[in-house]
Amino acid sequence: MQQPKVYVVDDDQGMLDSTVWLLESVGIQALPFTSGQAFLEACDAHLPACVLLDVRMPGMGGLSVQEALRARAVELPVIFLSGHADVPIVVRAFKAGACDFIEKPYNDQLLLDAVQAALERSSQALAGSEPRAAVQARIDSLTPRERDVFVPLVQGFSNREIAEQLEVSVKTVDLYRARVMKRMEAEHLPALVGMAIACGVVQPLSLR
């Protein structure tokens, strides 16, 4: 996965520069923008990232930028920065999905902690949204015997039960189970079950 990025959107050039410097001083890649529109044109929803968004800006304010992201179905964690954080604005921001709201002048460590949490959230969301087609392609690559083990395995049957169903030894099932896990690139059984559900191999309510 690519290096996480932080989009910094603030019309105050001095504040923008100091925020970018702070992030880069701890090794975080920061991309500066002086307008919401410029940011929207440049943001990439497929990268691990978050956005530090000033509430009050000429033209397109921070809340409008947040609404535009939602309209485009861009699930980018948003941290608002504002020197005028009145309650209605804060409430509106959080109702629209903001992950944090920090008042200016901000505490450096508070901002860094919020950014790290947001980047972690973004990375986890992207890791869990692997294209279904890629998972389906791996399922399609299973051999007939691997699939014979794969299906009852994700349904919740034990290795011994699968061995009885297929009339083979438990050791043979162990071997094929390991091959299935490797071919499907699944680190553990719950991940394998999740793939099977996502591609319609099994239905959640049919699991044992």
Cite the DSSP H helix spans in 30-140: 36-42, 62-71, 87-95, 108-127, 132-140
- CA-to-CA distance for 116 and 120, rounded, in angstroms? 6
Q: Which of 2, 3, 1, 5 is nearest to 115 (CA)?
A: 5
Same domain, yes or no: 116 and 153:
no
| pLDDT value of position 8 | 97
The pTM of the full predicted model, rounded to 2 decimals, is: 0.62
| pLDDT value of position 3 | 82
Same domain, yes or no: 140 and 46:
no
Same domain, yes or no: 151 and 95:
no
Please, what are the averages of pLDDT over each run of 10 residues along the chain (208 residues)?
86 96 96 96 87 93 93 89 82 87 92 92 69 82 92 90 94 94 87 80 63
Please confirm whether the linkage preceding 77 is cis (ω < 30° from 0): no
Same domain, yes or no: 66 and 164:
no
> Could you say which of 99, 127, 155 is where a domain stops?
127
Contact partners, residue 47, CB within 8 Å, separation at least 6: 2, 4, 5, 126
Q: Are 45 and 89 in contact (CB under 8 A)?
A: no
Same domain, yes or no: 183 and 97:
no
| pLDDT value of position 207 | 56
| pLDDT value of position 57 | 92
The count of domains in the chain is 2
Same domain, yes or no: 42 and 82:
yes
| pLDDT value of position 155 | 87
| pLDDT value of position 205 | 53
Could you give the 3-state DSSP secondary structure of residue 17?
helix
Contact partners, residue 166, CB within 8 Å, separation at least 6: 148, 149, 172, 173
Two tokens at 72? 């485009």
* CATH number for 75: 3.40.50.2300
Integer CA distances (angstroms), 44 to 9, 11, 27, 28, 48, in order: 15, 21, 20, 17, 9
Residues spanned by the domain of 22? 5-127
Same domain, yes or no: 40 and 83:
yes
For 136-158, b where at least 16 C-beta lie within 10 A, e where not — what string? eeebeebeeebebbbbbbbbebe
| pLDDT value of position 92 | 86
* CATH number for 137: 1.10.10.10
DSSP string, 27-45: T-EEEEESSHHHHHHH--T
Same domain, yes or no: 112 and 151:
no
Same domain, yes or no: 138 and 108:
no
Same domain, yes or no: 63 and 10:
yes
> Could you say which of 127, 151, 185 is where a domain stops?
127
